[in-house]
Structure 1
Amino acid sequence: MKIVAFLVGFSSLVLGAKADCCKNGWLSYEGHCYYIGYETLLTFTSAWAYCNTRGAYLVRLETPGEYLFVKEYLKKTGARTPWIGLTDMDSEGKWQWMDTGKHIQFSDWAYGQPDNAGNEDCVHLNSYMKFKWNDVRCSYKFIPLCEYDLS
C-alpha cells in the first residue's frame, strides 16, 4: 500500500511538472516557447491575431542569444521570411515591440535597412539575407513566428 501511495504521489509530481513545458508543437528556449505558422501566409496584423488566438504574440527578439536560437530554429525547419513583432507604425524610425511598446535593445538589420522604401513599418526576418531584419510593408504576407512566456 505504501508503494502505491508513493507511486501515485511521484507520478503527480512528475505530471505536475508538465505545466512548465511548452504546448505540443512549440519549441522551448530559456522560459519562452516558439511556434512557426507554416500553414499560412498572413499580413502583419493578421499574423499578430494568429499568435494572439494561440495565447502568444509575434516573437520579440530581446537578446542576441534568443535571436541566434530563433535563426537556428528557422534554418533547421526550412522556414522562410517570418514576421517578428517589431514595428514603427506609431513613430517613423522608432522601432518598438508591438505587444509591449518597448524599444529594441539591439538590432541586426540587413545591409541598407531599415530603409522605409514605400512606407515600410513592419519587420520580418529575411531568409535570403541570413535572417537579418528587414522592414517591409505591413500588407505583405509572410508566415507568423509566435512566442509566449512560460511564467
Structure 2
Amino acid sequence: MKLLVFNIFLLTVAAVFGQTFYPKHRVIKKYHLMTLAPVNWFRALHHCRFLGMNLASITSLEENNQIIQQIKIEGHERKHFWLSGTKLGFNDGYHWMGNGKTLTFTNWGGLQPDNLPNEDCLQIWNVGDGPIDDSMWNDRNCSHDLYFICEEEKIEYEYCSS
C-alpha cells in the first residue's frame, strides 16, 4: 500500500513539475542534396533510411523555399530531385512517406499532377535559373532515375542558465 501511495505521489509530482524541468526544444530540419548519382524513387527512399534520415517531406512554403534556395546555392538549379511524396497504395491522393502524413501544403506546377499512367511519385522539377517560382512539383514515374533530397531532423534544446 505504501508503495502504491508513493508511486501516485511521484506521478503527481512529475505531472505538476515535470514541464518545469523539461527543457524547451524545437525541431530543425536539415536537408542533404544527394547528387552523386541519380536513382529511382525506391532506392532514394532506401538510401535516406540507411543513413538514418528520411526522403524529404515538405509541409510549408517556408520549407519549400528553403530547399529551393539550397538547390540554387549549391549550383543544382537544373537538376530534378525526388521527394518522399507518393500515391502508391493510396486511393485518396498523395502522402509523404518521410513523415506518414497527407500532403497539406503543395507546390504543383501548372496542370500538375497530371496523373499520367504510372506517375505515382513526387519530384521537384527545376526549370532553370529563374525566380524561386520556377521550381515546382511534378508527378513522375517512380522508376525514373533522379537525384534526391534526404531530410535530417535535429532537436535544439534551450536550457535555463539560472
Measured against the shorter chain, the TM-score band is 0.7 to 0.9
> TM (normalized to structure 1)?
0.76
The structural deviation recorded for 1:128 is 1.3
> TM (normalized to structure 2)?
0.71
Deviates more, 1:93-102 or 1:108-117: 93-102
Contact 1:92 1:121 in 2 (8 A): no
Q: Deviations over 1:113-136 (max 9, x none)?
A: 001112210011001172200000
Partner amino acid for 2:59?
E
The structural deviation recorded for 1:100 is 2.9
Answer yes or no: is 1:42 the counterpart of 2:39: yes
What is the aligned residue count? 122
The structural deviation recorded for 1:99 is 2.9
Answer yes or no: is 1:124 the counterpart of 2:123: yes
Report the secondary structure of 1:38's partner residue: strand
Structure 1 or 2: larger strand share? 2
Unaligned runs of 5+ in 2: 1-26, 129-133, 156-162
Residue of structure 1 equivalent to 2:109 = 110
**Correspondent of 1:51 among 33, 37, 48:** 48
Q: How does 1:2-151 map to 2 (within 5 A)?
A: 31-79=28-76, 80-92=79-91, 94-128=93-127, 130-151=134-155
Deviates more, 1:34-43 or 1:126-135: 126-135
Partner amino acid for 1:120?
E
The structural deviation recorded for 1:78 is 2.3
Residue of structure 1 equivalent to 2:15 = none
Distance 2:92 2:110 in 1: 16
The structural deviation recorded for 1:67 is 0.6
Unaligned runs of 5+ in 1: 1-29
- Which 4+ residue blocks in structure 1 deviate beyond 2 angstroms? none
Distance 2:30 2:106 in 1: 21
Q: Deviations over 1:47-73 (max 9, x none)?
A: 011111111011110111011111111
Partner amino acid for 1:131?
S
Distance 1:76 1:42 in 2: 22
Partner amino acid for 2:86?
T
